[in-house]
Amino acid sequence: MKANSQRVKGKNFRLLHGKPLFRWILDSLLSIEAIDEVVINTDARGILAENGLTDGKRVRIRDRKPELCGDTVSMNLILADDIAAVAADTYMMTHTTNPMLTPATIQAALAAYKTGVAEGRADSLFTVNKIQTRFYRADGSPVNHDPGNLIQTQDLEPWYEENSNLFIFSRESFAKTGARIGKQPILHVMDQMEAVDIDTPEDWALAEAVASLQTTQKAAAS
């Protein structure tokens, strides 16, 4: 969790639909009993304290090393530092910028990961968006379809987009690849309404709209 961001200034602490952005994913994670501890790697301990968050029973705040600060540092290097300092059987990584990710989706992904590991067919998991549409290269040539035979898009071969919402892995799988995605990953499809990843002002506006819709739906159901 960085103090500063390039395209949406101060986004991690900015109010999203009345609540600081970082609290959305933090509240979801803390609502899941299977998660023993939430580790926040940050250069903004002071700002978190100003927003009422300090180290607690299930929250550990780790000060990001100076050499790991900056916009061009690979997240895998930050994860390597956390893994070296925090012992665990299973690591789950997400971002402050994924406010719509729900506890239900997190729990479903964790269950799929554990089943995959137990059956020997997976060593990691990451969430994706399933996309079935017509893609073209910059020169106008088709990538995944025949323009002369326009079959229904739902009949096209699906493509999967990493949506940066959730990654699950072990110390062993990380050691093999030096990355959060192992050699045998599960691609876990999730609802695209939840898959908002805030990088731009447009992403922020979309997250606000989704949050407003969710509030309206909850009020109507109560």
Q: How far apart are the first and last CA of the chain?
A: 34
How many Å apart are CA 87 and CA 78, to the nearest integer?
15
**Cβ contacts of residue 76 below 8 Å, gap of 6+?**
178, 179, 180
Q: What is the pLDDT of residues 78-109, one digit of tens each?
A: 999 999 999 999 999 999 999 999 999 999 99
Asked whether the predicted pLDDT for residue 6 surpasses 80, the reply is: no
- Match 């940066």 to its residue by tokens: 164
In DSSP terms, which residues pair with 159 in a beta bridge? 131
Q: What is the pLDDT of residues 122-141, one digit of tens each?
A: 999 999 999 999 999 999 99
- pLDDT class of 217 with cuts at 50, 70, 90: confident
**Cβ contacts of residue 103 below 8 Å, gap of 6+?**
28, 29, 31, 32
Strands 19-20 and 185-189: unpaired
Domains and CATH numbers, the chain: 11-221 (3.90.550.10)
Secondary structure of residue 40 in the 3-state scheme: strand
Strands 124-131 and 185-189: parallel
pLDDT attached to residue 4? 85
Q: What percent of the chain has pLDDT over 90?
A: 91
pLDDT attached to residue 220? 85
Asked whether the predicted pLDDT for residue 222 surpasses 80, the reply is: no
H or E element in which residue 22 lies: helix 21-30
- Match 């239900």 to its residue by tokens: 104
Question: In the predicted model, what is the mean pLDDT of residues 55-71?
Answer: 94
Question: In the predicted model, what is the mean pLDDT of residues 48-75?
Answer: 94
pLDDT attached to residue 21? 96
| Residue among 49, 66, 47 nearest 9 (CA) | 47
- pLDDT class of 9 with cuts at 50, 70, 90: confident
In DSSP terms, which residues pair with 125 in a beta bridge? 168, 186
- pLDDT class of 208 with cuts at 50, 70, 90: very high
Q: What is the pLDDT of residues 12-41, one digit of tens each?
A: 999 999 999 999 999 999 999 999 999 999
Q: Where are the beta strands (DSSP E) in 96-206?
A: 124-131, 159-169, 185-189
How many Å apart are CA 85 and CA 73, to the nearest integer?
19
Question: In the predicted model, what is the mean pLDDT of residues 37-63?
Answer: 96
